[in-house]
Structure 1
């Protein structure tokens, strides 16, 4: 459980408890249900991280929206886009072991996270991970409801594959960008899990 979840759940839980104690169960039940959902949303289960050499794992739970070719700083890359519904775990994890070389936050809009406009225009936090000659970019992108991006690391930190990096609250999008020479292991429509599902293999 992400600790901030207890803070968000406290108000409806307390209000629902007081109303229930006074016998107003019709008003109490929705508040207690909301508190339960908030605790469910902020869950943070342990994950079995793959040990395969060269594996790039999913940074987020969700459905793969697209696997497409792109170019970043003149380098041919592959981008995998993942949509997180409010029912997915929203804790983000490192796709590879390496050093956090850059962190770039950009304010923006709040389009529906599954759209192309969200990829281009929404609020985001971009994290560049480097390991030897390999560079992988992770983007935390806010959605229509998600208006709070949390990042728990800083430039220069060493992270392990599958290690927790942060979270995005209440529905969002994540993108991971890697060298095009990597062998892609997922397809659009597939559901992936952060830190567990292998998106690609570095060859």
Structure 2
């Protein structure tokens, strides 16, 4: 069984206790509901062991999910040059831990309070609650935005400004259905397409041109 991230323990433990209580005080059949929820939380908060192939020319996907759009931008708050934004939607069945696309130092960190619209809506990156990181190394600057959705009411971050991240290192998660945006310069060749399934720490979103 894949390791379970610590944020899942309260949900799993709570359902386990509720299962025992309902089985004892009401009927074992009624306890099936919290038991099934407990199994789902074990599944949702999984943190699979992944071998990260380090590559300083690659921009790795920060999350499991589906590429819903690739949008050209004139500029970006952190990248500050023409760039592409890749939007990745995570369903409630995807792994929800997030990994750094590159090795580098966190030079920008912002948390925005906002709405909780469905994560597949076009404007959620502006309207919804989100957490923005700008990561830089000696080859490239990128930004990664965790965006809350209609079910995702909690963005978890394990990092802070000036922290150094290894490529593929865990830096946070979003609880229950959400999306991420990765912004990288146009000098980076996009290697995925709209509708493609991606895997956090494994799929290459872009390749830095020499």
TM-score by length of 1: 0.96
- Residue 37 of structure 1 corresponds to 40
Matched, 1:67 2:70: yes
Match of 2:8 among 5, 30, 37: 5
The separation in 2 between residues aligned to 1:133 and 1:11, in whole angstroms, is 46
Q: Deviations over 1:36-55 (max 9, x none)?
A: 11111110011122333410
Q: Which runs of 4+ in 1 moved over 3 A?
A: none
Is 2:179 the partner of 1:176?
Answer: no
Shift of 1:133: 4.6
- Give, in whole Å, the separation in 1 of the partners of 2:204 and 2:139: 20
Give the paired residue count: 203
**CA offsets 1:71-123 (integer angstroms, 9 cap, x no match):** 21451011100000000000000000000111110011111101112122110
Aligned counterpart, 1:105: 111
The answer to whether the aligner puts 1:57 opposite 2:51 as a matched pair is no
The answer to whether 1:117 aligns with 2:123 is yes
Q: Unpaired segments of 5 or more residues in structure 2?
A: none
In structure 1, the partner of 2:27 is 24
What do you get for the CA RMSD once the two structures are aligned?
A: 1.3
2:102 pairs with one of 79, 96, 101: 96
The CA deviation string for residues 164-189 of structure 1, in whole angstroms up to 9 with x for no partner, is 00000000010100110111110011
Q: In the alignment, which of 77, 83, 90 is matched to residue 83 of structure 2? A: 77
Partner in structure 1 of residue 133 of structure 2: 127
Q: What's the CA shift string for 1:7-39, capped at 9, x where partnerless?
A: 111122111123224571221001110111111
Indicate the SS of the match to 2:200: coil
Q: Distance in 2 between matches of 1:51 and 1:59?
A: 14
Deviates more, 1:175-184 or 1:17-26: 17-26
* C-alpha separation in 1, matches of 2:154 and 2:41: 15
